[in-house]
Structure 1
Amino acid sequence: MKIQLAIISDIHANIVALDEVLADIKKSGVTQIYCLGDLVDFAPWGNEVIARIQERNIPCLLGNHDQRIAFDEPIIPLPHHDAIETVNRDIAINLSKNDITAAHKKWLATLPYNIELTFKVGNHLRKILLVHASLHSNDEYIHESTPKADLSVQLRERAIDILVMGHTHHSYVQRTGEVLFINCGSVGRSKEKDRKASYTLVTLTEENIEAKIVKVDYPIEEVAAAIYHSDIPDFYGDFLRSIESN
């Protein structure tokens, strides 16, 4: 027996990347899809992304960007952003606050902070915890380099086998103790060198738990051009186009 799930995160209003990822998931034959949030900000299609998630009935978490838009929370500068990014970030988020419809804001406000899934695979129960950023906060960054021993103990006390996160826009799969830590990266605003859209494919069997990061090409130049022709700062189009060679 085999159960497969596709997990996506951090779309950031990039409907072009989202549609390519959903098409790739469909091609793989996986029918269970979960989203870890951050549907809005930084590209021109925030409402369209929300509508697509709703149309597909994809269970979705409340990301920190979604929370800010849903509840009109203040924009707090981030210490790892320089002055240029801070200014552009303020402009982009305020545009979302004005552009996202009242109905979509109301829907975002209903989303959960986490989802715990339990699957029976043969004689085993496999437990997966989905969060946007961490167990404790929608703003905490858990990088691949972040020590995870204490977190692993906390998760095993809850019999969690897998923790899946987004938020950092950097994908990884890492085992610490008995827990598999997964960051599925970002669909719409990857901070990895290739800028490709990424998602995670999780496979559960009676014998094993496996996870694979899947990278998907999409027309970045098309998205950048749409940003340049919108009120969103060019900063975000330039970022997508800043592909680095390995």
Structure 2
Amino acid sequence: MKSVQIAIVSDIHANLIALEHVLADIDNRGISQIYCLGDLVDFAPWGNEVISLVKKRGIPCLLGNHDERIAYDIAVFPLEHHDAIETANRDKAIAHSKQTIYSDNKEWLGDLPFSLTLTFRIDGFFKRVLLVHATPISNEHYIFEKDNKQSIASDLINGDIDAIVMGHTHYSYIQKESDVLFVNCGSVGRSKEVDRKASYSILTISARDVEAEIIKVDYPISEVAQAIYQSEIPDFYADFLLQS
């Protein structure tokens, strides 16, 4: 049966080393179609380099909430799930990005689309995959595995969407709700999962179905942590990576 494979990455957060390892893994699998769900910047030293690599590879990319904040110099507001320590470090890290991301890269980020719908025609059947950073209506809200998805699934079915792929939470999962496949591809550069490995997803699209797989990639986390320690980015983000 004919099928198409695509790879989807998200939430690189300026971690160039993790991104390079993920792209090498995708290349080794012979997958040529790669999409990015956004959040290229903040929390590691290589924001400009990550943007340059995504541009060089011609990877279609969405506007993540961190990308939007840097592109438009949006004020930073505290998040309910962050304590005072993380809030203070987050403010410093984002301020660093605002100062160091090149103006042309900010302009490029600001022009990124909010979402993408991919339509595949295979053996006469159409399959549609919606790509978002966080949710179909917000790049700030969270959809976790435990959350009720019935209303979202209903809206997607009405739009003839077979699968939705998102990031933002930094936790990967695959879940079916009302015949809609929900996929969170996790985070390439700042996974919140126990192993801290770089995470991405592969979708296999056929006339019969859309199937997903979560891929975990090893990379030298200690090398990234040391680079953060040696930069002006708060040590908080290196300590976080080393908590695996």
TM range (shorter): over 0.9
Partners of 2:226 and 2:45 in 1: CA distance: 10
**1:233 counterpart residue number:** 234
- 1:118 and 2:119 aligned: yes
Query: Could you list the per-position Cα deviations for residues 3-38 of structure 1 after superposition, in whole angstroms to 9, with x for gaps in the alignment?
Result: 000000000000000000000000001000000000
Post-superposition offset of 1:206: 1.9
Query: Could you list the per-position Cα deviations for residues 168-208 of structure 1 after superposition, in whole angstroms to 9, with x for gaps in the alignment?
Result: 00000000011000000000000000000000000011222
Give 3-state SS (helix, strand or coil) of 2:131's partner. Answer: strand
AA partner of residue 203 (structure 2): V
Partners of 1:208 and 1:85 in 2: CA distance: 42
**1:36 counterpart residue number:** 37
AA partner of residue 193 (structure 2): E
Post-superposition offset of 1:123: 2.3
Query: Could you list the per-position Cα deviations for residues 137-163 of structure 1 after superposition, in whole angstroms to 9, with x for gaps in the alignment?
Result: 110000000100111000000000000
State the identity %.
58
**2:159 counterpart residue number:** 158
**1:3 counterpart residue number:** 4
Give 3-state SS (helix, strand or coil) of 1:211's partner. Answer: strand
- 1:132 and 2:133 aligned: yes
AA partner of residue 110 (structure 1): D
Give 3-state SS (helix, strand or coil) of 2:120's partner. Answer: strand
- 1:14 and 2:15 aligned: yes
**1:175 counterpart residue number:** 176
**2:78 counterpart residue number:** 77
Partners of 1:78 and 1:124 in 2: CA distance: 43
AA partner of residue 92 (structure 2): I
**2:26 counterpart residue number:** 25
AA partner of residue 178 (structure 1): D
Q: Which runs of 4+ in 1 moved over 2 A?
A: none
Structure 1: segments with no counterpart, 5+ residues: none
- 1:142 and 2:170 aligned: no
Partners of 1:108 and 1:73 in 2: CA distance: 13
Partners of 1:135 and 1:88 in 2: CA distance: 29
Matched residue count: 243
Give 3-state SS (helix, strand or coil) of 2:231's partner. Answer: coil
